[in-house]
Amino acid sequence: MGQPEADIDLKRIFKKAHDFTKADEVKKMGLYPYFKPLQATDGNTVQIEGREVIMAGSNNYLGLTNDPRTIEAAKNVLDLYGTGCTGSRYLNGTLDLHLELEDKLATFMRKDSCVLFSTGYQTNEGSIQTIAGRNDIIFSDRDNHACIVVGTQVSNAKTIRYRHNDMENLRMQLEKADPEAGKIIVTDGVFSMSGVIAKIPELVSLAKEFNAGLYLDDAHAIGVIGEGGRGSASVFNLLDEVDLVSGTFSKSFASLGGFLVGDREVIEFIRHHSPAHIFSASMPPANVATVLKALEILQSEPWRMQRLEEISNYMREELRNLGFNVWSSQTPIIPVVIGDMFDCFKFWKELFEEGVYSNAVVPPAVPQGQALLRTSYMATHTDEQLDRILSAFRKVGLKHGIIDKNGRSLLNTD
């Protein structure tokens, strides 16, 4: 006896899942680079599959995830507050710690007000969809992070995606737009795959000319670049000219969560209207305490950012000297272009076997033929570790014909 027609139709919803075989195919080849469980870590190195490798793919930019002070700060609040809030900030989930962190972040970022979110992803998704409504237009860089893209998709606003970091294309789109519509330009401050800084001066100028808001996602910028670690706009002394700046706690701040800073009225509107804020459980107390301590360390130990800049410049220059294509990286995010997806997986595996962990990034996250290994660096990496990373890249790059012994690229990714 056959299944009822309704049951057959219902199960068709899962056809796409059963048809997805690519991950299993890569696993059978022994090249699968994702969801690797870390068995232990001290920040700079990690234990994976029973072996110790240098971590060259973390966003732990200041090296604070294993700092004794951040760990102690997290431990100290557990007895007082417990492990979680079991509710949203809107209702029973606001602690005095949340308010303290919002106040300190607003002061640090030199903005009127701050609102916390439970993740960095929710920060952008929840803020963009709230501030941009039915009669508004969002102008979004084509290389923006997925959380920005989702924020534009769930918003009732019209979204126009301009060519990556192309200010002439953005100008053209602004000129064509309805002059009476509310407008906001949204962009990563530092692009997470390339390590390139957005063209903040031009963005500020266009926002002023067309009476548009300007929103920067500085997840990979705050605590990394700019005056005192205040992010991409502060690199150009233009923080006062940016309306909204978002950040995350899962990178420089060694925790989990996110925040948005801006004018008090705008932040209060988002605080009271964003579904991602109202309907999500609030940041656990240990996470908040970790961020408070990390913010304190960022401000009291400027050597961390100085060291991070030195490391970034060194690795970028040396990888280029070896012959690798690192695009136009300007930050601790340094991509190493491999080209073909399966070549990238093979390179990743052999680099891992040489004792270096990086991140394999393949289409659609990057253009076809531009599969890459995303490397990123920490203030706490030692010189010896950096040179071991370079030695491993050179060995594997020569073996796979990506570079030659004279420091020339053999890769054609046009």
Lowest mean pLDDT among 67-76, 91-100, 389-398, 404-413: 404-413
- pLDDT tens digits, 301-341: 999 999 999 999 999 999 999 999 999 999 999 999 999 99
pLDDT of residue 412: 75
pLDDT higher than 80, residue 7: no
pLDDT higher than 70, residue 10: no
- pLDDT tens digits, 155-199: 999 999 999 999 999 999 999 999 999 999 999 999 999 999 999
Class at the top of the CATH hierarchy for domain 68-300: alpha beta
- Residue 116 pairs with which residues in a beta bridge? 259
- Residue 40 pairs with which residues in a beta bridge? 47
Gyration radius of the chain over CA positions? 22
Phi-psi region of 129 (alpha: psi -120 to 50; beta: other; left: phi over 0): alpha
- In the chain, domain spans: 5-60+303-399, 68-300
Q: How far apart are CA 210 and CA 177, in angstroms?
A: 10
The residue that leads in pLDDT, 153 or 11, is 153
pLDDT higher than 80, residue 215: yes
Contacts of residue 168, Cβ cutoff 8 Å, sequence gap at least 6: none
pLDDT higher than 90, residue 230: yes
What's the mean pLDDT when you consider all of the chain? 96
Side-by-side strand order, sheet with 359-361? 333-339, 371-376, 359-361
User: Nearest 10 degrees: CA dihedral of 114, 120, 146, 245?
Assistant: 30
User: 403: part of which helix (H) or strand (E)?
Assistant: none
User: 9: part of which helix (H) or strand (E)?
Assistant: helix 5-11
Q: Which of 190, 249, 256, 253 is nearest to 218 (CA)?
A: 190
- 371-376 and 333-339 beta bridge pairing: antiparallel
Q: Which residues have a catalytic role annotated? A: 192, 220, 251
CA angle at residue 307 from 71 to 319, to 5 degrees? 115
Q: Is the Cβ–Cβ distance between 295 and 280 less than 8 Å?
A: no
Whole-prediction pTM: 0.95
- pLDDT tens digits, 48-89: 999 999 999 999 999 999 999 999 999 999 999 999 999 999
SS3 409: strand
- 333-339 and 45-48 beta bridge pairing: unpaired
pLDDT higher than 60, residue 6: no
pLDDT higher than 90, residue 236: yes
pLDDT higher than 80, residue 98: yes
CA 243 to chain centre: 20
pLDDT higher than 80, residue 244: yes
Q: How far apart are CA 145 and CA 125, in angstroms?
A: 10
Architecture, CATH, for domain 5-60+303-399: Alpha-Beta Complex (3.90)
Q: How far apart are CA 128 and CA 411, in angstroms?
A: 39
pLDDT of residue 3: 56
Cα dist from 341 to 17, 255, 344, 347, 352, whole Å: 22, 32, 5, 10, 17
